Structure 1
Amino acid sequence: MPLLIAGSIATDHLMSFGGKFADSLVVEQLDKLSLSFLVDDLEIRRGGVAANMAFGLGRLGLRPVLVGAAGEDFADYRSWLERHGVDCESVRISESKHTARFVCTTDPTGAQIASFYPGAMSEARLIELGPIVERVGAPDYVVVGPDDPDGMLRHTDECRQRGYPFIADPSQQLAFGDGPLIRKLIDGATLLFSNEYESHMIEKKTGWSADDVLARVGTQVTTLGKDGARVLRSGEDPIEVSAAVDVAAVEPTGVGDAFRGGFLAGLEWGLGYERAAQIGCVLAAYVVETVGTQEYTFTAEEFVARVDASYGERAAADVAAHLV
């Protein structure tokens, strides 16, 4: 059964700054902030949360269905994704707007300054899931990732009405959304993805306690950066998974998207939450070691070996049964 991955499709413009942003900030003058940084390099890469997740799933041998809006400049990007196992037939192409742009500068400490132009993403609100399901079949999950807010609401409402199990991943939209919006995006989800900071933001903006959030979603998966990930389920003991070992971090953009892709692959393979989190951590390691969110590569044997090194022979055997 298919996975529908709804969310942003974008081009990433990634730059590196040799100094530290903190050294250029004068706290007393933040109301007059005007900064310019001489960057060391520029990488133009494919990105967008939904596209990144779908790419990761494709690299693991699945065929996710990408749901989102892009511009007429999407042709090369479409070809790239299709070559890597992603179904792009349900991507809406805008007749007037360019594909979204993400521009990000990172300093050596991992601090980032970024901006995002939504462009064609605003047309995601015009996409109906029903015709997509008629084409590909009833979904195991619909992931509702960060996108045009009205589009996210439309997808979430349709999932509830039609009985499609959905996964909430509001991430970047949490900074802009108010409590009522966030509550609508989360309530009733089969699973909620967030990082640790986003978890606290959800609680603050919704007015729900951590227990309230868990009661409304059933399962919450929280990424913890270098400390791995945590899975919480109502009435169950927490599952703590350490990060993959021997990671040579280079650039953090897209790491969370890769984790989600790996985690979803584990669920699709029926391997359970702990194993899914381990697969997510290994896939995330490939991204953090690479500039760009879709530039990593590996063979099935290499991926299994990395699972073995990080989580042991049993985990490697479970993954190998589906990947090799």
Structure 2
Amino acid sequence: MRIAVTGSIAVDHLMTFPGRFADQLIADRLSHLSLSFLADDLRIHEGGVAANIAYGLAVLGHRPALVGAAGADFADYGARLRAAGVDTASVLISRTRHTARFVCTTDADQNQIATFYAGAMAEARQIDLAQTALRTGGLDLVLIGADDPEAMLRHTDVCRALAVPFAADPSQQLARLDRAQTRRLVDGARLLFANAYESALLLERTGWSEQEVLARTGTWITTLGADGVRLTSADAPALHVPAAPAPDVVDPTGAGDAFRAGFLAGVARRWPHERAARLGCALATAVLGTHGAQGYTKIPTELRGDLAGVRGGT
């Protein structure tokens, strides 16, 4: 299966605060918030939702096409992705902007406060997904992840025009989208990804009920953190897939992206969605035990039994 992953490409600056954010918040002073958290450490890693998902698919033996915009500073990052098996030929390189930056602080409860600088991602709207489809000999599935909003809308429209199935994953960009834009991204998606908060926000943004969303999509996959994943569709009972047992959590960054990579790898093998979700949960757990969203460089030993028949896809 030929999969394209569109969305952000970024460099992550990850810091750790040894206390709890909640202990520093005063309920009746939140309208005038001014806080500084003294971090214990700083780690810089490759990231961005599209790059993370594409990397995970490559680790699982696929060769996804990464579609997004990056800066001239992407050279080393791109070489690492290509070495892992990611097709980066559809990455647009900006002449004037740096690759996007994700600056995130994680507290002792694994809560996160982050800022995202778009940088070169603002130029992603210039990318023509149809050219990627032509170059690769056709696409079987496109994941449309968080990106420049105009790029997300354009990629969705191209998928419809080319009759290419797509997965909608607007995630943090829901806060930037209006009702018409959100409906345009969701309507007709074969797969719809969101976490629990994003699912509630999606209903608010679209103005649709859950049943109305399900009537317009295939399967809605809601990640629930330590509580696993919920799979819902219009024509089948809801399914709950528990999270895989987790080791000590080193860094939660990128766990959701790893889940998506594992789920899409299962879809590529035409597995039932429940089985694909189990693989996604297992890969997410592997990421929790490493620093950075791409800290794992090979299939963890404990996943190999789940991966029979996965490797060798495209």
Normalised TM-score (structure 2): 0.96
- Which structure: greater helix fraction? 1
Matched with 1:242 is 242
Residues of 1 paired with 2:127 and 2:8: CA distance? 13
Unaligned runs of 5+ in 1: 306-315
Q: Structure 1 stretch 133-142 or stretch 246-255: which is displaced more?
A: 246-255
Aligned 8 A contact 1:17 1:108 in 2 = yes
Matched with 1:103 is 103
RMSD: 1.4
Residues of 2 paired with 1:289 and 1:18: CA distance? 18
| 1:251-286 C-alpha deviation (Å, 9 max, x unpaired) | 211111000000000010121211100110010001
Residues of 2 paired with 1:246 and 1:132: CA distance? 37
Matched with 2:310 is 322
Aligned 8 A contact 2:246 2:288 in 1 = no
Matched with 1:137 is 137
Residue 29 (structure 1) shift: 2.4
Residues of 2 paired with 1:270 and 1:5: CA distance? 18
Residues of 2 paired with 1:68 and 1:127: CA distance? 8
Matched with 2:17 is 17
Residue 190 (structure 1) shift: 1.0
Answer 1 or 2: higher relative contact order, Cα 8 Å, separation at least 6: 2
Residues of 1 paired with 2:14 and 2:297: CA distance? 19
* 3-state SS in 2 of match to 1:322: coil
Residue 194 (structure 1) shift: 0.6
Residues of 2 paired with 1:246 and 1:295: CA distance? 16
Residues of 1 paired with 2:297 and 2:81: CA distance? 14
Residue 321 (structure 1) shift: 2.6
Residue 40 (structure 1) shift: 0.3
Pairing 1:116-135 to 2, within 5 Å after superposition: 116-135=116-135
Unaligned runs of 5+ in 2: none
Normalised TM-score (structure 1): 0.93
Residues of 2 paired with 1:137 and 1:42: CA distance? 42
Residues of 1 paired with 2:14 and 2:300: CA distance? 28
Aligned 8 A contact 1:16 1:107 in 2 = yes
| 1:11-52 C-alpha deviation (Å, 9 max, x unpaired) | 000000011112222232223322111110000000000000
Aligned 8 A contact 1:300 1:323 in 2 = no
Aligned 8 A contact 1:188 1:217 in 2 = yes
* 3-state SS in 1 of match to 2:86: coil
Matched with 1:215 is 215
Matched with 2:41 is 41
> Identity across aligned pairs (percent)?
54
